[in-house]
Amino acid sequence: MGTEYTISLRFLGPLEVVVNGELVHPGGPKQRALLCYLVVHAGEPLSLGGVVEAVWGVDAPDGAVRSLRTYISNLRKLLGSAADLHGLQGTYRLDPRSMETDVEVFRRTVAEAAGVDDPEQRRSLLSDALDLWR
């Protein structure tokens, strides 16, 4: 029996976020960019300045930090407590333990297929992996 994930992030096509089995809107372009950056670096403490640069680039506007804090607050509400998105001493960190991405599932399924001798079972697994692409 596999792990039950509270948050499912779908990157293999248009970004989709599923929380507790319900599709939720991930917000506007900057908030989606922030979410993607946090997911790519899940589990790592990320400095405020580094996150601002990742979302806005080196020429971030004057209100970028204030906007970032708003986006973080929005993501906390959107993802709920399962995301465990928190800031500690000027850093942010997204806890990866309750979330799964379709990219991870794709890689895991392809790796599993590579270890299967039965051609029909291998074909079925690879088909499942391809079905993740939307």
Residue 123: the pLDDT is 97
The answer to whether residues 99 and 5 touch, using CB atoms and an 8 Å cutoff, is: yes
> Could you tell me the two tokens for 39?
């997911």
The neighbouring-strand residues paired with 8 are 18, 100
The rounded distance, in Å, linking the Cα atoms of 37 and 132 is 21
Per-residue pLDDT at 5:
65
Q: What is the pLDDT of residue 63?
A: 95
| Model pLDDT for residues 28-87, shown as the tens digit of each residue | 999 999 999 999 998 899 999 999 999 999 999 999 999 999 999 999 899 887 677 777
pTM of the model: 0.83
Q: How many CB atoms lie within 10 A of CB 103?
A: 15
pLDDT in tens, 94-114: 888 888 999 999 999 999 999
pLDDT at 1: 40
Binned at pLDDT 50, 70 and 90, residue 3 comes out as low
